[in-house]
């Protein structure tokens, strides 16, 4: 899948789970590489906003009583103990340096994919979007899960190689893995099967001029 140009009216940037519980220093599920790439993602957001590309955020959260938890409490002790990703807590908020601009939406999700049991697809179709740009954390989980779900719904997918990030994996029986290796492997897989993987600089070079965001047509137009 190749995306040579971005039509701002038909493109949306999805910022996946750049929340305090992942990005802040000392966070319960700290992804230090995500914090390190915040300036790059902030630059990508400015490029999109200046061009009139819509921006939409996701936040992975669960209710405190665990009624929407599924199997996450078996996978992650900090989630099971309600030490992270609790809806309505400061840790669930978007990291302040990447805060949504006025009018930008935050989609709450309970699984890795931003499309699973959310209204993201409804919103994108209302906006007549046909191309999504994926950024955020973590590369191989929530960002990766969102990319094929977008492709399955016939959106062209761009995955930003330097505005996504993950953490080191401990040994759970098959050896440990550094975040750079996980990140690289995920990019290779996505480039082969799902998305046009590119750095922010390439994205910027492919954006065509567009009008201000207030001039976007609605589905009813």
Mean pLDDT calculated for residue range 119-129: 98
- State yes or no: pLDDT of 56 exceeds 90: yes
Enumerate residues 6+ apart whose C-beta is below 8 A from 174: none
Asked whether residue 196 carries a pLDDT value surpassing 80, the answer given is yes
Residue 133's CB is within 10 A of a number of other CB atoms, namely 28
Question: With 50 as the cut, is the pLDDT of residue 194 above it?
Answer: yes
Distance CA 25, CA 45 (A): 22
Mean pLDDT (whole number) for 155-166: 98
* CATH 1.10.760.10 is right for the domain spanning 8-215: no
pLDDT at position 85? 94
* Calpha distance 2→10 (Å, rounded): 16
Helices (H), the chain: 20-23, 32-36, 38-51, 72-75, 77-80, 120-126, 144-152, 179-193, 200-206
Report the pLDDT value the prediction gives residue 77, as an integer from 0 to 100.
87
Residue 83 burial by CB count (10 A; 0-12/13-18/19+): exposed, middle or buried?
A: middle
Per-residue model confidence as pLDDT tens digits over 71-90: 988 888 888 889 899 999 99
| Average pLDDT of the residues of the chain | 94
Q: Is the pTM of this model over 0.85?
A: yes
Residue 80, pLDDT score = 87
């Amino acid at each position: 899948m190749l995306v040579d140009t971005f039509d701002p009216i038909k493109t949306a940037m999805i910022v996946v789970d750049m929340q305090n519980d992942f990005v802040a220093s000392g966070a319960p599920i700290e992804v230090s590489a995500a914090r390190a790439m915040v300036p790059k993602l902030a630059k990508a957001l400015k490029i999109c906003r200046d061009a009139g590309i819509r921006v939409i955020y996701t936040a992975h959260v669960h209710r405190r009583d665990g009624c929407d938890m599924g199997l996450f409490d078996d996978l992650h002790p900090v989630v099971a103990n309600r030490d992270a990703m609790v809806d309505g807590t400061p840790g669930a908020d978007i990291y302040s340096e990447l805060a949504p601009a006025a009018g930008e939406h935050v989609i709450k999700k309970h699984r890795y994919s931003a499309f699973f049991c959310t209204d993201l697809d409804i919103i994108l179709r209302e906006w007549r979007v046909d191309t999504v740009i994926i950024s955020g954390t973590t590369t191989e989980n929530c960002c990766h899960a969102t990319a094929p779900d977008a492709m399955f719904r016939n959106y062209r997918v761009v995955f930003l190689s330097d505005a996504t990030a993950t953490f080191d994996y401990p040994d759970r029986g098959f050896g440990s893995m550094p975040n750079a290796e996980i990140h690289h492997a995920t990019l290779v897989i996505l480039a082969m099967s799902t998305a046009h993987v590119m750095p922010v600089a390439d994205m910027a070079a492919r954006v065509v001029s567009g009008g201000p965001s207030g001039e976007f047509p609605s589905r009813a137009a």
